Amino acid sequence: MLTSADQWRGMTSSAETASEWNVHSLKTLLDGGKTHHMISGFGDYGGGRFVVVGDNQDVFYSDDNCQSWKHSLIPGPPEKGQEVIAYGNENFLCSFKNHVARSADGGVTWTLHEHGLIGWGNSKRGLSFVKGEFWLTAQKGSHGRRSRDGITWKNLPKSTPGGRFVESESGTIINVERRRYDIHRSEDGVTWETVFQAAKEDVTWDTAFAVYEKVNSLK
């Protein structure tokens, strides 16, 4: 497991039991630079790779279960606004308001590509990988885009809700969204049903995440 913070606290990782945590300093990698608002992701690239993206286009990646880290940069002028990292089809994507950053070599080099949501508001962490492609949605499902490689994008069906998506091994998709107080479910990615509705609207739903993992046993 990996958590990320900022240039002062660095990253923190733990093995399977989560009973012990290791802090990874960024001072040497940054060489006097500054970064903040770091987000982390993982992909099955080359046997498994952790990728962290922070302010000012800074990227940190590890291919040895967080034992050591390397530094790279996303091209372009320094900016903030990185939202979420997703992995699929051998590509890492990091979403920003007007474009996505794409890496096909595990975070070593990056290219920028417009996703087509300009003018539709922030994506608000609406990037996911389901059905063999990346899905990126604007707030409240006002508009959505899809791509297999992060380079070429086309529209999602108008019925697609906003937010984040996870897919089970059977193909069922579950959807949640920040500041939306319900959970949607779909078998085909086109027709959606509401399977949960919160009893009341409150701040505990301000940030929404969805995670899928097969559970082998319960204790």
Determine which of 44-53, 81-90, 205-214 has the lowest per-residue pLDDT on average: 205-214
Average pLDDT value for the chain: 86
- Sheet containing strand 111-114, edge to edge, reads 85-88, 91-95, 99-103, 111-114
CATH 1.10.260.30 fits 2-159, yes or no: no
Residues pairing with 160 in the sheet = none
**pLDDT at residue 34 tops 50:** yes
Instruction: Give residue limits of the domains in the chain.
Output: 2-159
Q: 203 falls in which pLDDT band (50, 70, 90)?
A: low
pLDDT for 21 equals 85
pLDDT for 5 equals 66
**pLDDT at residue 92 tops 60:** yes
Contacts (Cβ under 8 Å, ≥6 apart) of 181: 197, 198, 200, 201, 205
Q: Rounded to two decimals, what is the model's pTM?
A: 0.87
Determine which of 67-71, 118-122, 128-132 has the lowest per-residue pLDDT on average: 118-122
Query: b or e along 50-85 (b: 16 or more beta carbons within 10 Å of the residue's beta carbon)?
Result: bbbbbbbbbbbbbbeebeebebbebeeeeeeebbbb
pLDDT for 199 equals 83
Determine which of 30-39, 115-124, 179-188 has the lowest per-residue pLDDT on average: 115-124
Contacts (Cβ under 8 Å, ≥6 apart) of 203: none
| Residue 45 or residue 141, greater confidence | 45
